[in-house]
Structure 1
Amino acid sequence: MGTREVELDILKEVGTIGGGNAATALSSLLKTPVQISVPLVQMVPFPELLEAAGGEEKVAAVTFLRIAGHISGSIFFVLEPEEMQTVGRALVESWNISRTPENEQDLFASALCELTNILAGSYLSALSDFTGLYMMPTVPSSAVDMIGALLSEGLIEAGLEGDEAIMIDTNMTKGEHQSQMAGRFFMLPDAHSLPKIFASLGVQESGA
């Protein structure tokens, strides 16, 4: 098995464990069974990031946050706008807050930030357990716009110098009626961070 295959196997396990932890947290929050599966984990070169996220002109709900600790980098979570509303309704109902046409979009944005914070915290916690490196998410922000505009702005804000992103497909199934949501979670480690992650996992990258 080559180095890249070993890396992806480890990251798939991290994603599966992190998804399980996030599902437990969301089940408690929503008071209904939630399952999260990770059907695909892959490394995406930065130049291919916009296409992997759905295309530069595609409108999506995107949440952005930074990673703090021994590892630095950025995280984007990309959802269809319709799925943002589905998640938003479920989370807002759990908050016992009155939803009106005037406050609905702000509440949905807050709900998406909370979902992303739970997912990011769970994935980073699992990765931290595997590597022994401390890492945590910062406060997220979200918006609905074309993917090209949102991701490019986030990349500029982050001042990233890395080469590849870790892409984790994240599928969530909720409740007795099995309502589903599918999103893409991108972790973009800064240049020094990705080799540190794999070295801590016991994987020596080729050329390193």
Structure 2
Amino acid sequence: MTAPTEPFQPRHAQTAVPIHPLLASRQSTRAFAPGVDLTEGQVAALLEAARWAPSAGNTQPWRFLLARRDTGEFKRVVETLNPGNRDWAGQASALLVAVRTDANDRGPLAHAAYDLGQAIAHLTFQAAAEGLTVRQMGGFDAAALAAEFDLAAPLVPTTVVAIGLPGDPADLDDAVAGPDRSPRARLAIGDLLIHP
């Protein structure tokens, strides 16, 4: 008989000053618990959080393509990922394609990428509140993804977001596990400030 293993514990950030526990516990793991589906309530809450993010002039220059695990859409998104990301992203409960809208009927939207980032940040912290984890990927073929789902300008696939229940990094293949098994680190606050 195999002894039960300890449940996976998230690695909290070692912050310079206390911050909200939801922020300190957030991490971008590649380890997802396999076979877990998102509930309709979780999906609704994630999208609602993104919907209420701030944007320049309330333009809301974001659109989302949600592909759930074990669907044809999910497989189509996975096929556009870089090989390293394919190795772990298939375990996620869903893949969300974050699409920015670079223009509307009034013209170009100069802050679209920034605003989309805020929408995904809101979604990320709602996911944390739901006990889920999110990992964003830039490693995908944007042109192939746009062609696969008939996304034409001004819609631009910007990132693919893996969403699911966090798994155990010990279960990851060594080729992709490095960041999940390494200490968490950030630049010091002093290194982030620009001094005039």
Shorter-chain TM-score bucket reads 0.3 to 0.5
Comparing both structures, which one devotes a greater share of its residues to helix? 1
Structure index of larger Rg: 2
Q: Name the structure where strand makes up a greater proportion of residues.
A: 1
